Amino acid sequence: MAESTRIGMLTPSSNTILEPVTAAILHGTDVSMYASRVAVTRIALDDHANTQFGTEPMLAAARLLADAAVDVIAWNGTAGSWLGVDHDLELCAAIEKATGIPATTSTLALLDAFRAFGVTRLGLAVPYTADVTERIVARYREHGVECVTTAQLGLTDNLDFGRVPAERVRQLIEQAAQGDPHAVAVVCTNVAGAPHVAALEQQLGVPVFCSVSATLWKALDVAGAAAAIPGWGLLLASGTLRARLQQALDGLLATTGADRTTLRMGLPALGLHVDLTAAEAVAPGVRSIRRDGSLDQRALNTVAWLEQHRKPLVQPHFRETPQPPEALKDVYGVRAQTLGPIVRGDELAGWISIHSLHERDWGPQDLAALATATQRVHDALDGV
C-alpha cells in the first residue's frame, strides 16, 4: 500500500487557525499534515518583531519535520509579504539544503496563485496595522500586483488575529472586494478566511485567496500531490490546472516571440468559459485581453473555421477569410494570428491564439511551439 502524502508545516507558535483549517480541508483525502512551531507572537515592522523570522529557528523546526519524512516543508506564515520575496526564497533554499526536502512559503504560494489567475488588481484583507499593510502593498507592486483596495483591522498581537469573529472576517473580505479587483487575498495564516471563501466567491464574483488554503495548495503541488479539492473555493478546485495552463501559454509566448498568447476553454464546472480567457501571456507593453468578455466567441468566423477544420488556422495577415472580429484589430491592434484547436473527444473544447501586432509569417518553429503548447494543455486537462 502506497504511503499517503505528508505535508510539513512550519507554524507560528501563537497561530490557532491554520492547523484546524488545514485539517478540515484535508478531511477525506489521503494527505496528512504535521506541524513544527517557531516563536512568533507579534506582527510589526520593528527589529524585534522581524527577528522572529530569522533562518536558524526555522531550520531547527524544519529538521524536526524532516524526522517525520515529510514530502514538503512549508513556512505557513506571510512575513515574506512585507519582508520581501527574497527573504522567503533564501529561507526555502536553506531548508532544502539542511533537510533535502523541497520547501515553499505562504507568500510564494499567494504570488503563484495571482499568476495562475492573472491577478494584477488585488483587494487586500489583513488584520495588521497600517504600516505593515502599506509595506505589503509596496512588496506586491514589485511583482506586478496593485492593491486597489485595502481592508485592515489594526492589530499586532497574533493571538488576537485568531480571535476575530467570523462575521468580522466576512466583512473584512467584502470591504477588500470594493474597487473592482481581480481577486481578494486574506494575507495572514491566523485569520479564518478559508471557511468563507466558496460562499464569498459566489457573492462577490471574484476569486478569494486565503493564505491558509493557498499554502496548502502550493505545498501539495511541490510535493507532487496536486489535486482538485472541491468546496473550498476556486484555488483549491482549479488552481493547479490554471497554473499549468498559464505555464503552457508563457512557454508559447517565449518560444514564438509573439505579442500575446491566449487560451480559451469551455469547462463550466471549473469556472472556465470561452468568452473569457483561461490563461494569457503578453509581451511588455502589450494590452491584456484577459477579462474582455464582450464577444460571443463561439459565433466568430475564425472559431467556426476551427470547428469545421479542426486544425491550426494560420493567418500571416487578415486580407483573406475567415476574418477575425473587428475589435481584435481595432482595439487590440492584432495584425496576424495563429489559432490552434483543443479537441477533447469529439468536441472543440477550446483554442489557443498566438497574436502579433504586425503582419508576420508563421514558420514551422511557431507551429511546433503551438503543438507543444497544445499537448501541455491536454496533459493539464488529463490531470484534473
* CA–CA separation, 353 and 192 (whole Å): 40
Question: Cα separations (Å) of 369 from 258, 266, 293?
Answer: 11, 22, 27
pLDDT for the residue numbered 1? 32
The DSSP symbol for 342 reads E
Amino acid at 111: L
Identify the pLDDT of residue 164: 98
Question: In the beta sheet, which residues pair with residue 38?
Answer: 12
User: If DSSP codes are grouped into helix, strand and coil, which group holds residue 335?
Assistant: coil
pLDDT at 46: 87
Instruction: Tell me how many helices (H) and strands (E) the chain has.
Output: 15, 13
Angular region, 166: left φ>0, alpha ψ -120 to 50, beta rest: alpha
Mean pLDDT of successive 10-residue stretches along the chain, which has 384 residues: 83 97 96 96 86 93 98 97 96 98 98 97 98 98 98 96 98 97 98 97 97 98 90 95 97 98 90 93 96 94 97 98 96 98 95 98 98 97 86
Distance CA 157, CA 337 (A): 55
What is the CB-side half-sphere exposure of residue 168 using CA atoms within 13 A?
11
Q: CA dihedral defined by 51, 56, 58, 61, rounded to 10 degrees?
A: -130
Could you tell me where the DSSP H helices lie in the chain?
Answer: 18-26, 47-50, 55-66, 80-83, 85-99, 106-116, 130-141, 158-162, 166-176, 194-204, 211-222, 234-256, 301-309, 326-330, 364-382
Cα(195)–Cα(106) distance, integer angstroms: 18
